[in-house]
Structure 1
Amino acid sequence: MAYLWIGIAGFLGAILRYSIGLFLFDESLEFPFATLTVNLLGSFLLSWFTTVFVKRFSIPDHLKAAIGTGLIGSFTTFSTLSVETVTLIHNNELFLAFVYVLISIAGGLIMSRLGYRVVKEKRTNEHT
């Protein structure tokens, strides 16, 4: 049954990712803003979800997997980041490729930390 939930959530995550890609895509730009946006947002959401829901509430394992692996996992995309980086390198856009990878990795870590901190600060404010 978990596979069904993961599949449904994965479908929704992929549709969201594709929709944001269409919305943010600009053919005139070399830099892949759409992929960067979904990956940074996904980093925040996964951290926030695991901090808020997984630790605070008793959620069945199949729903945790559906949201974390299915929805958010299919929403973000490391493979697209890799292909877009190689494309930038192939097009002799070495600086843009470097900036893209740097922002993707550092930004993903920062967004994950932010997701965790948002929850932690909210909990602290609720207890005071």
Structure 2
Amino acid sequence: MNWLLVIVGGMIGAPLRYLTDRTVQARHDTTFPWGTFTVNIAGCLVLGLLIGAVTAHAASSQVLLFLGTGLCGTLTTYSTFSYETLRLVHDGARFYAAANVLASVVAGLGAAFIGTALAQALWG
């Protein structure tokens, strides 16, 4: 039954990722991949919150499978991040490529930390 939780979460996360990416990117007139950046940071925040909730016994492992593995697994995208970074390099936008890598790693780790800290404050 765990596989079904992952599938249903993925069925929600994949279109959410696409729609969020397109909505965010349409609002920015730049080569920087703001849509992918947004979904990846949001996913890190949600996953950090979920891990904190599970650790504090405020959420079950089934919730983690559904939201963490299913939803966040399809909401976030390392492959698109990599592709867009390489595309920026290829197009000569090396500053944006470096900024994408640095900002994504720092903001992603920061969002995960904030999520776990928030969970600790709520349920710890």
Q: TM-score, normalised by structure 1?
A: 0.87
Q: Map Cα deviations across residues 42-101 of structure 1 (whole Å, 9 max, x no partner).
A: 101000011124532362x44421221111111000000000000000001111000000
Aligned to 1:37: 38
Question: Equivalents in 2 of 1:2, 1:63: separation in Å?
Answer: 10
1:2–1:63 contact (8 Å) kept in structure 2: no
What is the one-letter code of the residue matched to 2:56? K
Of all paired residues, the percent bearing the same amino acid is 31
- Which blocks of at least 5 consecutive residues in structure 1 are unaligned? none
Aligned mates of 2:62, 2:120 — CA distance in 1? 25
Name the structure 2 match of 1:18. Answer: 18
Q: Secondary structure at the match of 1:25?
A: helix
Partner of 1:82: 82
Q: Matches of 2:120 and 2:73 in 1, distance apart? A: 23
Show CA shifts across 1:12-57 (max 9, x none): 0001111101211237420000000110111010000111245323
Q: Which protein is bigger by CA-based radius of gyration?
A: 1
- 1:2-13 equivalences in 2 (<5 Å): 2-13=2-13
Aligned length: 123
Unaligned runs of 5+ residues in structure 2 are none
- Name the residue aligned to 1:51: 52
- Asked if the contact 1:54/1:64 (under 8 Å) is kept, the reply is no
Query: Which residue identity does 2:71 align to in structure 1?
Result: L
